[in-house]
Each structure stands twice: as C-alpha cells, then as structure tokens.
Amino acid sequence: IDATPSSIENSMAQLIPAHKYHKGTGPVGDEDGICAVCLSEFEEGEELRTLPECLHSYHAPCIDMWLYSHSNCPICRSDATPSPQILRPRDSAGPEDMAAGMVQNVDVQSRTM
C-alpha cells in the first residue's frame, strides 16, 4: 500500500475537520498541549484534528499518517471513524439535527464527557 501524501489525502483522516490550535480555547483533547503521535507540544496556530468520539487532538499531519493505517485513537483506541451525522453535508441537516448538534461543524467544546 502506498503511503504517499496523495494517497493519504484520500484516507479517512480527511473526513475529520481540522482546526487551528489556540492555547486555552480549544476542544477538551487540546488541553494537554502535546501530540501523542510525535510527542511535540502544540504551537499557536498549528493545524490540529480532534477525533470525533474521544475528542483527543493531534497535529493534522501526524494523525493523518496514523489514520492511513489504523482506524482508532492512538491514546484510547476508541473508533476514529466519523459518524454519519458528522459526515452529512450541512445542507442536508434538518432543524432537529442542528438542535442536537449533529452537523459537520459541531462545536466540540460544548460536548460533555
């Protein structure tokens, strides 16, 4: 299997939205401030991905490479596959989905553990 950047672009990782790291304002998984894949601290403005089920965050390139060959979280091993509600195009989300927070750009800060 080819692990070149072009093949990674077509992987499941690209279905998980990326966000910029801002210390103290990110999702729950950003609080440690360290990427568990490369073991480097997050720097202000770096692009991260937060896994939808467990909310652990990683540098986007690090988790992209991990998810190319794995389908779980490197920390807790929970399923990293985005749920259909997260993948559904925003245009097809109905009012009940929006009320339940089940749209693509869900605010992960409001989720509870």
Q: What is the CATH number of the domain that holds 53?
A: 3.30.40.10
pLDDT over 90 (residue 109): no
> Which domain, by its residues, includes 10?
5-83
Question: Which pLDDT value is given to residue 88?
Answer: 44
Q: Mean pLDDT throughout 52-56?
A: 91
- Tell me if 113 is assigned to some domain: no
Q: How many domains does the chain have?
A: 1
Spatial CA neighbour of 80 closest among 107, 100, 62, 103: 62
Q: Is residue 49 predicted with pLDDT exceeding 70?
A: yes
Question: What percentage of residues in the chain have a pLDDT greater than 90?
Answer: 39
Tell me, yes or no, whether 42 lies in a domain. Answer: yes
3-class SS at 77?
coil
How many CA atoms are closer than 13 Å to the CA of 78, on its beta-carbon side? 11
102 located within any domain = no
Q: Which two tokens stand for residue 112?
A: 């509870």
| 3-state SS assignment for residue 35 | coil
Query: Can you tell me the mean pLDDT for 94-112?
Result: 44
In a domain, 107, yes or no: no
| Domain assignment present for 111 | no
Which of 71, 59, 1, 69 shows the shortest CA–CA distance to 26?
59
Per-residue pLDDT band at 57 (split at 50, 70, 90): very high
